[in-house]
A = this chain, B = another copy of it.
Amino acid sequence: MKKDFSTLDKQLCFAVYETAGEFTKLYTSVLKPFGLTYPQYLVLLALWEHDRITMKELGELVGLGTGTLTPMISRMQEKGWLRKERSVEDERNVHVTLEKKAHNEKNTITERVNEEIQLCNIALSEYEELMARLNELHSKLRERTKL
């Protein structure tokens, strides 16, 4: 009984680790021509939905802390995807706003990504099933942290 769980733990942590790695590689290859990395693309996805938000809000949306986000957003600013502006009302906040480049290339990028995903022949049901399981695990992992 205990042994079963132990073996599953091992298999699961490898499965999550390696699948995430492969996933990253797929996105990396597709995004490279646009000069984007996978995490940067996630930031764009978040901002395409909610433009002009603070670093803190953005961090919560993509699940990243300031230590990772600050230098990453600066790099994206240098490349012209967005700009950072210190808030006037509350100078602790920094608003992140998309530049024209990000709006203009949105369709091209997302279509190219979807094109590549289609090549994997993943059925709709598979998607939904996997996502449901991941979210289940995700919420249980976060619950535990709060104890």
- At the interface, yes or no: A89 with Cβ under 8 Å from chain B? no
CA distance A128 to B138 in the complex (A): 16
Interfacial chain B residues near A25, Cβ < 8 Å: 141, 145
| Secondary structure call for the A interface | helix
Which segment of A78-86, A95-103, A119-127 sits at the interface? A119-127
Indicate whether A130 sits within 8 Å of B12 (C-beta atoms), given known contacts A119-B147, A124-B5. yes
Closest B residue to A121 by CB, please name it. B140
> Is B141 a contact partner of A8 (Cβ separation < 8 A)?
no
Evaluate contact between B19 and A134: CB separation under 8 angstroms: yes
The distance from the CB of A102 to the nearest CB of chain B, in whole angstroms, is 16
Instruction: Encode A2-27 as 1/0 by CB contact (under 8 A) with B.
Output: 10111011111111111111110111
